[in-house]
A and B are shown apart, each in its own frame.
With several copies, the nearest count.
Chain A
Amino acid sequence: MATKTLIEAVREALAEEMRRDPQVFVLGEDVGVRGGVFRATQGLIEEFGPMRVLDTPLAESLIVGVAIGAAAAGMRPVAEIQFADFIHPAMDQIINEAAKIRYRSNGSWSCPIVIRAPYGGGIHGALYHSQSVEALFHHVPGLKIVVPSTPYDAKGLLKAAIRDEDPVLFFEHKKAYRTVRGEVPDEDYVLPIGAADVKRPGRDLTVLTYGYTVHLCLEAARRLSEEDGIEAEIIDLRTLLPLDRKTVLESVRKTGRVMISHEDNKTGGIGAELAAIVAEEALFYLDAPIVRVAPPDVPAMPFNRVLEAAYMPTVEQQYEAMKNLARF
């Protein structure tokens, strides 16, 4: 097993799926000779040619619409939105079309597309190259939402997404692309969509998180264990829609304390639904109020490094919140 970066895992998953199934193709802005602005599709055009590695015009609604149509005709399109911040023009095609095609046709059509998009901040991307957009889709039945935190998860989940019968939004954290490394098997494997992963077991409190923030929480949990002897259970949700309620509730019932942490701003974030599920299903197991750790409700994170740092979650913040919760 070799150690790889998250973006290498993404690239491998794409190449292997394209080799496995001739119906799989990628489309998006600059995915061809440029290999994607983050190089996620590097080398694909050389191997699969420009028809299966399609540089589209600059038009996100088109990209998703074309993917929907191609999927109707039996293809397995993997669309790239260059930055998650630019997915908004495609929301009609995603929410009103892709998510509703199976339902509105009473099951006679389906929409097996994957929409990949780099998301997240801490990379000096400013208001429009740093956004987390998962919460904008979390309310939409018919969609699946996957956010991997490690190279292993990224590869196994992207393969699962491509083989899935329904539309999957696949968000990849930009800061994780090259800073997060991990073991990735050489053999073909898929990971189940809809299953959370306990990244660190612990008895004292439950931390629900996903994406890059998983790593901040793991780091904070290590410190909490070493310095304070408190054991946090870190649950990486991995799939945000549908949520793995079982894993979440089991952990909460065990620890009685729950913290939810994400990089996306607080109000109406994924943390809201998680807190609601716990408050509905496990209220009397709680020994402390639910805690959401999330950036403030500002429209997006700024470019200036002082302001960006003021927005971005930190290990320190996770550590303090966990400690306070454990001591409540």
Chain B
Amino acid sequence: MDNRHAALGLSDADVLAMYEKILLTRMVDERTWILNRMGRAPFLVSAQGQEACQVGAAWALRPGIDWALPYYRDLGVVLTLGMTAKDYMLGLLAKAEDPSSGGRQMPSHWSFPPLKIFTGSSPVATQLPQAAGIAYAIRLRGEDAVVYVSFGEGSASKGDAHEAMNFAAVHRLPVIFFCENNRYAISVPQEKQMAVDNVADRAAGYGFPGVTVDGMDPLEVYRVMREAVDRAKSGQGPTLIEAKVYRLAPHSSDDDDRAYRPQEEVEEWRARDGLPRFRRYLMELGLLTEETDRRLREQLAAEVDAAVEYAEKAPDPVPADLLRHVYGQ
């Protein structure tokens, strides 16, 4: 096995840390399903199958300097940027302390001002023009930050996606449009959403590069993200990255994916899952052993346990909170 990460300027510690984030994301997600099935978490959207691309992408950002407008599946992005399992669990259980929304929004509707993670909504694709607006402010003030904005391939069908990409192109804005193509918009397969193979093919029509990347490979994703960040910072404008991934779980805890996709397809993709693949990579390079992996899992499990415990004990908002923050002061 070649050492692919050194060539990307990533240290061994870096890739181990990336692995840790991918693993943490998966473990938090798995725990969430358990909580949901036990009736302790009313609703979830899952990141499973997309963690590798999320961590690879976020690794190329500078937390607190670069901006992020992650979509609801981007658990791996926000954990990599610096949100914690505890932050997530507080949101999952909609507690008063939930940093994203004080328990107002559904889980996974991220917001975290210190990390420049801008609040997101449920209506898809609205974040793309907003990301362009942030990038415009950056450009106007001559700052060096970049903006990461993500969305599913389904959301790429929305008018807002088009308007934002076109505008970002005109002004060569420092935005990275990051599309996580998991082949389905809930039940609607890619073929019913678009007549092309790649969302990335649209970039040419706006006048900036579009690249597709194996989203199950965090190093490849990191590589194309770094290129996009460099382009953005050097005034060359936006990039559209399309990470080919697969949603291994149903759309949400309310969904039943057996109605619309064969389980063999799911299993086929599971065989390509980025987590075990990256684990193998690290093991073959001798950076990870069964033993260190086991210890890491224990440590992360304890972190998740503590997060769940904390969040479950944390207080709900009080009814009077309903009326707060409609307007300023």
Contact = CB atoms under 8 A, between A and B. Distances in A.
Contact of A57 (B105, B163, B316): B163
Interface residues of A, number: 75
A72 B163 contact: no
A110 B113 CA distance: 11
Contacts of B109: 104, 126
B102 to A, nearest CB: 3
Interface string B184-225: 011110001110000000000000000000000000000000
B316 to A, nearest CB: 4
Nearest to B159: A61
Contacts of B194: 57
Interface string A127-155: 11100000000000110100000000000
Interface stretch (B77-85, B128-136, B232-240, B300-308): B128-136
A296 B121 contact: no
Contact of A33 (B111, B137, B259): B259
A308 to B, nearest CB: 9
A183 interface: no
Contacts of A165: 327-329
Contacts of B135: 69
Interface stretch (B9-17, B52-60, B275-283, B317-325): B317-325
A106 B104 contact: yes
A129 B319 contact: no
A52 B140 contact: yes
A317 interface: no
B159 A55 contact: no
Which bucket holds chain B's interface residue count?
Answer: 35 or more
B260 A127 contact: no
A311 B320 CA distance: 10
Interface in B60-94: 67, 94
Given A73-B67, A73-B138, A102-B328, A304 B126 contact: no
26 contacts: A33-B187, A35-B259, A54-B136, A55-B188, A58-B124, A58-B157, A62-B129, A68-B130, A69-B118, A72-B118, A73-B133, A86-B123, A89-B159, A102-B325, A104-B119, A106-B102, A106-B324, A109-B111, A126-B104, A126-B105, A126-B109, A127-B104, A302-B101, A302-B105, A304-B104, A306-B318
Interface of B: 42-43, 67, 94-96, 98-107, 109, 111, 113, 118-119, 121-124, 126, 128-140, 154-155, 157-160, 163-164, 166-167, 170, 185-188, 192-194, 254-255, 259-260, 316-329
Interface of A: 25, 29-30, 32-35, 37, 51-52, 54-59, 61-62, 64-75, 77, 85-86, 88-89, 92-93, 96-97, 100-110, 124-129, 141-142, 144, 164-166, 296-299, 302-307, 309-311
Given A35-B259, A70-B133, A304-B96, 16 more contacts: A37-B254, A57-B193, A59-B167, A65-B164, A69-B133, A71-B133, A88-B123, A106-B98, A108-B119, A126-B105, A164-B328, A166-B328, A303-B107, A304-B104, A307-B104, A310-B320
The 5 closest A-B pairs by CB, nearest first: A69-B133, A65-B129, A106-B102, A165-B328, A128-B122
